[in-house]
């Protein structure tokens, strides 16, 4: 009894070169291994700059440069300025390019000056912050209710784009009553047509910080510092997955269990839902 076997000989196998020709691919691309965008030293500098800013948010690039040099880092002032844009740092005094604006996007006036914020969902604030990881970094965008300090929604991304900001806004409006006013800085993510269109379609007033005015969005900035001091700096997350799990735990703890001195030692959840 003859048994036929389906065998493929070497002669019938296409070489890598022939496969690349058939698929119109460059053979060199098959052997290319992507290099990290930043070296270990550059990540150390970025992380240290984030720590300095978290402790002293009034430092611009010149003082950041002096601080880094005093700690033994060999870095130029212009590189520090470039890294501040990577970190999306916004100092508390007016200066150029603390956020990355788009000159073709409309900028809206700041509506919170002298405004008494007296109930939940009157004002939501949104911003992005740099989050360090072991050997890398990513970005966190979050929306906070100004009155109650309750974290409405948040997302993590490995790039500073508009898409994850759109996702966090859509999720917030799906889960909670819409705010009267939505406040952000003038970053291109928030001035984009797609982002402002969602706010307009929901009849939400758009408010934007004055150029370089970190203090105009102080509530979300304070929360970012709290998150970093109480969780990120302590735990030193190794990956985005670990960070995601850590943020799920910490933000639930912050909203539901962490007593807030400015809320007469109530939790943000107590204050937010007491009037909703």
- What is the CB neighbour count within 10 angstroms for residue 263? 16
The set of residues, in sequence order, having a beta carbon less than 8 Å from that of 159 and lying 6+ positions away, is 139
pLDDT of residue 276: 63
pLDDT of residue 29: 47
Q: How far apart are CA 77 and CA 172, in angstroms?
A: 39
Q: How far apart are CA 273 and CA 260, in angstroms?
A: 15
Are the beta carbons of 232 and 131 closer than 8 angstroms? yes
3-class SS at 119?
A: coil
pLDDT of residue 164: 93
pLDDT of residue 31: 43
Convert 190-252 into a string of H (helix), E (strand) and C (coil). HHCHHHHHHHHHCCCEEEECCCCCHHHHHHHHHHHHHHHHHHHHHHCCCCHHHHHHHHHHHHH
pLDDT of residue 262: 87
3-class SS at 43?
A: helix
pLDDT of residue 4: 46
- What is the CB neighbour count within 10 angstroms for residue 161? 13
Taking only the tens of pLDDT, the chain with its 276 residues reads 444 444 444 445 666 666 655 655 554 444 434 445 788 899 999 999 999 988 888 788 899 999 999 999 999 999 999 999 888 887 654 333 334 454 556 889 999 988 999 999 999 999 999 999 988 899 999 999 999 999 999 999 988 889 999 999 999 999 999 999 999 998 889 999 999 999 999 999 999 987 555 566 789 989 999 999 999 999 999 999 999 999 999 999 999 999 998 899 999 999 999 866
Beta bridge partners of 123: 181
pLDDT of residue 37: 75
pLDDT of residue 8: 43
Nearest to 229 by CA among 129, 156, 149, 147: 129
pLDDT of residue 106: 81
- What is the CB neighbour count within 10 angstroms for residue 215? 14
pLDDT of residue 100: 47
- What is the CB neighbour count within 10 angstroms for residue 223? 20
pLDDT of residue 33: 42
């Amino acid at each position: 009894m003859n048994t036929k076997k389906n065998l493929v000989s070497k002669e019938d196998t296409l070489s890598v070169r022939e496969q690349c020709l058939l698929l119109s691919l460059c053979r060199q691309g098959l052997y290319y291994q992507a290099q990290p965008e930043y070296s270990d030293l550059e990540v150390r500098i970025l992380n240290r700059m984030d720590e300095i800013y978290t402790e002293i948010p009034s430092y611009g690039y010149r003082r950041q440069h002096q601080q880094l040099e005093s700690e033994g880092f060999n870095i130029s002032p212009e590189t520090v300025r470039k890294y501040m844009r990577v970190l999306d740092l916004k100092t508390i005094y007016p200066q150029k390019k603390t956020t990355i604006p788009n000159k073709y996007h409309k900028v809206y006036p700041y509506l919170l000056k002298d405004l008494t914020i007296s109930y939940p969902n009157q004002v939501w604030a949104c911003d992005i912050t740099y989050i360090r990881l072991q050997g890398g970094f990513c970005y966190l965008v979050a929306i906070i209710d100004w009155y109650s300090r309750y974290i409405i929604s948040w997302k993590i991304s490995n790039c500073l784009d508009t898409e994850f900001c759109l996702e966090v806004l859509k999720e917030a409006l799906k889960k909670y009553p819409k705010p009267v006013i939505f406040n952000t800085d003038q970053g291109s993510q928030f001035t984009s047509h797609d982002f402002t269109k969602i706010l307009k379609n929901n009849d939400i007033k758009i408010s934007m910080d004055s150029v370089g005015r970190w203090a105009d969005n102080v509530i979300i900035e304070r929360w970012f510092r709290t998150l970093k001091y109480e969780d990120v700096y302590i735990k030193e997350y190794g990956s985005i997955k670990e960070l995601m799990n850590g943020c799920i735990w910490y933000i639930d703890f912050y909203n539901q269990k962490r007593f807030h001195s400015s809320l007469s030692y109530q939790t943000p959840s107590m204050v937010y839902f007491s009037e909703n």
